[in-house]
Structure 1
């Protein structure tokens, strides 16, 4: 009976240590609504800046959306013509509104760094912008990282469980029926 009480006390101690003090907070002790979490990684993007213009490109699969603004006040550039060269190839663009352009590529870009050259032509000036689009294989690396972390936690839990069983067998001897010893 004494061994059962010791096992019960050990189990209650482990359970008590597992309960964190944050779970004891009463009403009015919260920190407000949690900020909204976005799922997945951000789309790859690039920026090319000069004294006059700022160009930002956002890649989503085969579609590239470009935003052209004045550097001084961040306002869209009206009636601009934009020519784009990406990874050594000229990309045809369609205007979607003031300072916004869209390109649909024939195939997705492979992972790596790709040079971006853009020529901006307006009624007052012409400018050349240069940037770099850096693509990574994010989905695959995130999946591997998640799997590795899960395996690490599972291995750690297994080691802790083995140490607890080993300690209990050592403490109470090998003949305890609860631990699977000889009867």
Structure 2
């Protein structure tokens, strides 16, 4: 009986504060969450095309659309130059490309130029990518880290409670038999 009470008490203590209801609690609109720093990106547009690049370390995801209707550009060829260095590009799907940089981009603003050839249309797009050191740090969100720590502490406490309960029940059986 005491072991069950211990487990219920531990479960209630370890529940995250968001689970506990308070006075005036309702399920109305939640406030918008503050967004952390995103991955560095650039956009380059013209009358014909729109190109967006998202940098994740040395990997670059590229998305090429028609400027008029935002549809992916089919059968396109893309050449990319970042800060004076030609970057090899591979087509992944219609309007989607990927590139691997030889080295991470230097911190600061770097010029980006792209040449697009799609059928009979050819265009030169230009933009800039702004890279900061904080954007390269892939720190785990604090909320998730706190939840993992709370889960680990809870698991340890439950294990200790189980060991304590087993020892106590063995001691009671041994002591009761004598």
TM-score (norm 2): 0.59
Q: For residues 105-120 of structure 1, what are the structure 2 equivalents within 5 Å?
A: 105-120=101-116
Structure 2 unaligned blocks of 5 or more = 1-20, 140-178
Q: 1:61 and 2:57 equivalent?
A: yes
TM-score (norm 1): 0.58
For 1:130 and 1:48, the matched residues in 2 are separated by: 5
Judging changes above 3 Å, is the alpha-carbon distance between structure 1 residues 26 and 115 closer, same or farther for their aligned structure 2 residues? Answer: closer
Aligned residues: CA RMSD: 2.7
Does the CA-based 8 Å contact 2:39-2:55 persist in structure 1? yes
Residues 50-74 of structure 1: CA deviation (Å, up to 9, x unaligned): 0000000000000001000000000
Q: 1:45 and 2:41 equivalent?
A: yes
Q: For residues 95-134 of structure 1, what are the structure 2 equivalents within 5 Å?
A: 95-134=91-130
Residues 19-61 of structure 1: CA deviation (Å, up to 9, x unaligned): xxxx984354x534555666x4210000000000000000000
Task: Name the count of aligned residue pairs.
Answer: 118
- When Rg is computed on C-alpha atoms for both structures, the one with the higher figure is 1
Structure 1 unaligned blocks of 5 or more = 1-22, 144-183
Secondary structure of the corresponding residue to residue 55 of structure 1: strand
For 1:127 and 1:106, the matched residues in 2 are separated by: 26
Residues 99-142 of structure 1: CA deviation (Å, up to 9, x unaligned): 0000011111110110000000011210000000011122699x
Aligned to 1:31: 28
